[in-house]
Amino acid sequence: MATTRTTARTLWVSARAIVLFTVVTGVLYTLVITGIGQLAMPSQANGALVRDEAGEVVGSSLIGQPFTDADGAPLAEYFQPRPSAAGDGYDGQASSGSNYGTENADLIAAVEERIAQVSEFNGVSADEVPADAVTASASGLDPHISPEYAAIQVQRVAEARGLDVAEVETLVAEHTSQPLLGYMGAPVVNVLELNLALDELEG
Protein backbone atom coordinates (compact mmCIF):
# COMPACT_ATOMS: atom_id res chain seq x y z
CA MET A 1 0.00 0.00 0.00
CA ALA A 2 2.81 2.39 0.89
CA THR A 3 4.46 1.71 -2.45
CA THR A 4 1.20 2.51 -4.25
CA ARG A 5 0.82 5.79 -2.36
CA THR A 6 4.44 6.70 -3.10
CA THR A 7 3.98 5.97 -6.80
CA ALA A 8 0.77 7.98 -6.93
CA ARG A 9 2.43 10.90 -5.13
CA THR A 10 5.38 10.78 -7.54
CA LEU A 11 3.09 10.74 -10.57
CA TRP A 12 1.10 13.68 -9.16
CA VAL A 13 4.28 15.70 -8.55
CA SER A 14 5.53 14.85 -12.03
CA ALA A 15 2.23 15.86 -13.64
CA ARG A 16 2.25 19.21 -11.81
CA ALA A 17 5.86 19.79 -12.82
CA ILE A 18 5.02 19.10 -16.49
CA VAL A 19 2.11 21.52 -16.39
CA LEU A 20 4.17 24.18 -14.59
CA PHE A 21 7.14 24.01 -16.93
CA THR A 22 4.87 23.87 -19.98
CA VAL A 23 3.23 27.09 -18.88
CA VAL A 24 6.49 28.78 -17.92
CA THR A 25 8.70 27.74 -20.83
CA GLY A 26 6.07 27.12 -23.50
CA VAL A 27 3.71 30.04 -22.87
CA LEU A 28 5.11 32.72 -20.57
CA TYR A 29 8.64 32.63 -21.99
CA THR A 30 7.29 32.81 -25.54
CA LEU A 31 5.04 35.77 -24.70
CA VAL A 32 7.86 37.64 -22.93
CA ILE A 33 10.35 37.16 -25.76
CA THR A 34 7.72 38.06 -28.37
CA GLY A 35 6.86 41.19 -26.42
CA ILE A 36 10.50 42.23 -26.10
CA GLY A 37 10.97 41.65 -29.83
CA GLN A 38 7.92 43.76 -30.72
CA LEU A 39 9.05 46.59 -28.46
CA ALA A 40 12.80 46.59 -29.11
CA MET A 41 13.02 45.43 -32.74
CA PRO A 42 9.53 45.46 -34.32
CA SER A 43 10.80 45.35 -37.91
CA GLN A 44 13.07 42.35 -37.41
CA ALA A 45 10.50 40.58 -35.23
CA ASN A 46 7.97 40.81 -38.05
CA GLY A 47 10.27 39.59 -40.79
CA ALA A 48 11.90 42.90 -41.80
CA LEU A 49 9.22 43.38 -44.45
CA VAL A 50 9.90 45.94 -47.17
CA ARG A 51 7.00 47.96 -48.60
CA ASP A 52 6.73 50.10 -51.71
CA GLU A 53 5.34 53.64 -51.80
CA ALA A 54 1.80 52.24 -51.95
CA GLY A 55 2.39 50.31 -48.75
CA GLU A 56 2.39 46.92 -50.47
CA VAL A 57 4.80 44.29 -49.16
CA VAL A 58 7.38 43.59 -51.88
CA GLY A 59 9.73 41.33 -49.92
CA SER A 60 12.00 41.14 -46.92
CA SER A 61 15.31 42.90 -46.40
CA LEU A 62 16.59 39.65 -44.85
CA ILE A 63 15.85 37.33 -47.80
CA GLY A 64 17.02 37.79 -51.36
CA GLN A 65 14.79 37.45 -54.39
CA PRO A 66 15.29 37.28 -58.15
CA PHE A 67 14.58 40.17 -60.51
CA THR A 68 13.69 38.35 -63.69
CA ASP A 69 10.98 38.26 -66.36
CA ALA A 70 8.39 35.51 -66.81
CA ASP A 71 10.97 33.35 -68.59
CA GLY A 72 13.55 33.72 -65.83
CA ALA A 73 15.79 36.14 -67.76
CA PRO A 74 17.39 38.91 -65.65
CA LEU A 75 15.81 42.34 -66.06
CA ALA A 76 18.30 44.94 -67.27
CA GLU A 77 16.67 47.77 -65.30
CA TYR A 78 17.30 46.08 -61.96
CA PHE A 79 20.39 45.20 -59.99
CA GLN A 80 20.76 41.44 -59.90
CA PRO A 81 21.41 39.39 -56.75
CA ARG A 82 23.99 36.64 -56.40
CA PRO A 83 23.07 33.11 -57.54
CA SER A 84 21.00 30.96 -55.21
CA ALA A 85 21.05 27.20 -54.67
CA ALA A 86 17.91 27.26 -52.50
CA GLY A 87 15.27 25.33 -54.43
CA ASP A 88 14.50 27.14 -57.67
CA GLY A 89 16.26 30.17 -56.24
CA TYR A 90 15.76 32.07 -52.99
CA ASP A 91 13.24 29.53 -51.74
CA GLY A 92 12.91 30.10 -48.00
CA GLN A 93 11.65 26.54 -47.53
CA ALA A 94 14.72 25.04 -49.18
CA SER A 95 17.53 27.13 -47.71
CA SER A 96 20.90 25.59 -48.57
CA GLY A 97 24.05 25.93 -50.61
CA SER A 98 25.20 23.55 -53.31
CA ASN A 99 27.68 21.91 -50.86
CA TYR A 100 30.10 21.45 -53.76
CA GLY A 101 33.80 21.62 -52.99
CA THR A 102 36.02 24.09 -54.81
CA GLU A 103 37.37 21.35 -57.08
CA ASN A 104 33.97 19.92 -58.01
CA ALA A 105 33.67 19.76 -61.80
CA ASP A 106 30.00 20.77 -61.81
CA LEU A 107 30.70 23.82 -59.65
CA ILE A 108 33.64 24.88 -61.79
CA ALA A 109 31.53 24.55 -64.95
CA ALA A 110 28.65 26.50 -63.39
CA VAL A 111 30.97 29.29 -62.23
CA GLU A 112 32.60 29.57 -65.65
CA GLU A 113 29.19 29.76 -67.30
CA ARG A 114 28.02 32.41 -64.85
CA ILE A 115 31.17 34.48 -65.39
CA ALA A 116 30.46 34.53 -69.12
CA GLN A 117 26.81 35.47 -68.56
CA VAL A 118 27.52 38.22 -66.03
CA SER A 119 30.32 39.59 -68.17
CA GLU A 120 28.14 39.78 -71.28
CA PHE A 121 25.04 41.06 -69.48
CA ASN A 122 26.92 43.93 -67.83
CA GLY A 123 29.35 44.69 -70.63
CA VAL A 124 32.47 44.11 -68.57
CA SER A 125 35.46 41.84 -68.88
CA ALA A 126 35.54 38.49 -67.14
CA ASP A 127 38.32 39.77 -64.89
CA GLU A 128 35.97 42.40 -63.45
CA VAL A 129 33.35 39.88 -62.31
CA PRO A 130 33.57 39.49 -58.50
CA ALA A 131 33.20 36.13 -56.76
CA ASP A 132 29.78 36.82 -55.25
CA ALA A 133 28.34 37.41 -58.73
CA VAL A 134 28.92 33.77 -59.65
CA THR A 135 28.72 31.84 -56.37
CA ALA A 136 25.75 31.16 -54.10
CA SER A 137 25.79 31.86 -50.38
CA ALA A 138 25.66 29.02 -47.86
CA SER A 139 21.98 29.72 -47.12
CA GLY A 140 20.97 30.51 -50.69
CA LEU A 141 18.98 33.44 -49.27
CA ASP A 142 21.59 36.20 -48.98
CA PRO A 143 19.87 39.53 -49.78
CA HIS A 144 23.16 41.36 -50.25
CA ILE A 145 25.81 41.74 -52.91
CA SER A 146 29.25 43.29 -52.66
CA PRO A 147 29.82 46.93 -53.69
CA GLU A 148 32.09 45.52 -56.41
CA TYR A 149 29.24 43.52 -57.92
CA ALA A 150 26.94 46.52 -57.68
CA ALA A 151 29.55 48.70 -59.37
CA ILE A 152 29.71 46.60 -62.55
CA GLN A 153 25.91 46.80 -62.83
CA VAL A 154 25.59 50.58 -62.54
CA GLN A 155 26.14 51.39 -66.23
CA ARG A 156 23.66 48.78 -67.41
CA VAL A 157 20.94 49.86 -64.96
CA ALA A 158 21.46 53.55 -65.76
CA GLU A 159 21.15 52.93 -69.50
CA ALA A 160 18.08 50.72 -69.11
CA ARG A 161 16.31 53.38 -67.03
CA GLY A 162 17.59 56.46 -68.84
CA LEU A 163 19.28 57.76 -65.70
CA ASP A 164 22.62 59.44 -65.16
CA VAL A 165 25.30 57.06 -63.97
CA ALA A 166 26.06 59.44 -61.10
CA GLU A 167 22.46 59.16 -59.85
CA VAL A 168 22.64 55.40 -59.77
CA GLU A 169 26.06 55.45 -58.12
CA THR A 170 24.65 57.73 -55.41
CA LEU A 171 21.81 55.30 -54.73
CA VAL A 172 24.27 52.42 -54.48
CA ALA A 173 26.34 54.37 -51.96
CA GLU A 174 23.22 55.23 -49.93
CA HIS A 175 22.24 51.55 -49.75
CA THR A 176 25.68 50.24 -48.88
CA SER A 177 25.96 49.03 -45.28
CA GLN A 178 29.38 49.26 -43.66
CA PRO A 179 30.89 46.49 -41.49
CA LEU A 180 29.58 46.19 -37.95
CA LEU A 181 31.72 48.35 -35.63
CA GLY A 182 33.77 49.25 -38.68
CA TYR A 183 35.61 45.95 -38.97
CA MET A 184 33.27 42.97 -38.50
CA GLY A 185 32.36 41.69 -41.95
CA ALA A 186 32.50 43.56 -45.25
CA PRO A 187 30.48 46.34 -46.90
CA VAL A 188 27.30 45.00 -48.54
CA VAL A 189 24.47 46.33 -50.70
CA ASN A 190 20.87 45.25 -50.10
CA VAL A 191 19.55 44.47 -53.58
CA LEU A 192 15.82 44.71 -52.84
CA GLU A 193 16.09 48.05 -51.06
CA LEU A 194 18.31 49.43 -53.82
CA ASN A 195 15.93 48.33 -56.58
CA LEU A 196 12.96 49.75 -54.69
CA ALA A 197 14.80 53.08 -54.39
CA LEU A 198 15.34 53.02 -58.15
CA ASP A 199 11.63 52.57 -58.76
CA GLU A 200 10.82 55.39 -56.37
CA LEU A 201 13.38 57.63 -58.07
CA GLU A 202 11.56 57.21 -61.37
CA GLY A 203 8.26 58.02 -59.71
Q: What pLDDT was estimated at residue 69?
A: 92
Q: What is the pLDDT of residue 45?
A: 67
134: closest CA among 119, 123, 147?
A: 119
For the chain, 203 residues long, give each residue's pLDDT as a single digit of tens.
567 778 778 888 888 888 888 988 888 788 888 888 777 766 666 667 777 777 778 778 788 899 999 898 999 999 999 999 888 888 888 887 777 888 889 889 999 999 999 999 999 999 999 999 999 888 888 999 999 999 999 999 999 999 999 999 999 999 999 888 777 888 999 999 999 999 988 76
**pLDDT confidence of residue 74:** 94
Containing H/E element for 190?
strand 188-190
For the chain, the 3-state helix, strand and coil shares in percent, each to the nearest 5, are 50, 10, 40
Exposed, middle or buried, 195 (CB in 10 Å: 0-12/13-18/19+)? buried
Return the pLDDT at 44.
Answer: 64
Distance CA 164, CA 107 (A): 37
